[in-house]
Structure 1
Amino acid sequence: MSTAFEMDLFLAGVLTGSRTTRRRHLRQAKAIQTAIAERWQRDNPWTWKRKHLAWFLNHHLNRRTESTRYYYLLTTNLITLRLGKSWDFKRGRVQCWQ
C-alpha cells in the first residue's frame, strides 16, 4: 500500500451490488475520508470514532439534498460494518453522543 490509506482495499470485503453502486460507494467513502482528514487530520478509518462520521452526516452534508444524504448514509453504514462497530446511523439528524 502507498502512504495514503487506500479506501478501495478497506471496503473490498463489504462492497456488493452492481459495478456502478460499488463505484459510488468508493467515491463517497473517499469524500468522507477527505473531509474527516481535513477536519481532524485522521485519514485512516481505523482511527475514526462515531463522532467523526456523525459530524460528516450532520454538518458536512447539511446543505445537500435528502437523497444525497441518504446515499452517504448507506456508505457510512458500509464503513461501520467494515470497522465491526455497532454504530447506528438513521435517516435524519444523527446524535453524536449516544
Structure 2
Amino acid sequence: MSRRFDMELFLVGVLIGSKATQHRHLRQAQNMQAAIQQRWNRDNPWTWQAKHVRWFFAHHLKNRSSATRYYYKLTAILIWRRLENDLKPGLIKIIP
C-alpha cells in the first residue's frame, strides 16, 4: 500500500501570507486533491492534466459562490507556481 501524497510538503515552498491564509490554501489544495483523486484516480498534482483542473472548477465548484471559486483559483495558482518549472507552464491559462 502506498502512502498518501503530502500536499503540505508539496506546497511548503510557495505558501505565502499569514498562518490562516496558509492553512486555507493547504485545506483547499487537499480538497482539490481529494476530488480529483476520487473522480480521476490522480493522487498528486504531478499527474494532473488541464482537464482535471477544468473539471474541478466546472463541476465540483459549480454550486459554490464566486468568492469560494476565487479563493480556489488562488490556491490553484500556488499549485501552478510549484509546478511551473516542470512541464506545466500552461496550467494557469485553463483556470477560470
* Bin of the TM-score, shorter chain as denominator length: 0.7 to 0.9
Closer, same or farther: CA 89–74 of 1 in aligned 2, 3 Å: farther
Counterpart in the other structure of 1:48: 48
Distance 1:54 1:88 in 2: 11
Alignment of structure 1 residues 29-68 onto 2, 5 Å: 29-68=29-68
* Alignment partners' CA distance in 2, 1:52 and 1:90: 10
Aligned to 1:77: 77
**1:53-93 residue CA offsets vs partner (Å, 9 max, x unmatched):** 111111110000000000000001111111113222577xx
Contact 2:54 2:94 in 1 (8 A): no
Could you tell me which residue of structure 2 aligns to residue 17 of structure 1? 17
Root mean square deviation, CA, Å: 1.6
Q: Decide which structure has greater helix share.
A: 2
Query: Normalising by the residue count of structure 2, what TM-score does the alignment of the two structures yield?
Result: 0.88
- Whether the 8 Å contact between 1:77 and 1:89 is mirrored in structure 2 is no
Identity of aligned residues (%): 55
TM, length-normalised to structure 1: 0.86
- Paired residues, number: 91
The 3 A distance-change label for structure 1 pair 39 and 90 is closer
**Residue number among 53, 76, 92 corresponding to 1:88 in the alignment:** 92
2: CA distance between counterparts of 1:71 and 1:44? 20
Gaps of 5+ in 1: none
Please tell me whether the aligned partners of residues 34 and 43 of structure 1 are also in contact (alpha carbons under 8 angstroms): yes
In structure 1, distance between residues paired with 2:65 and 2:81: 25
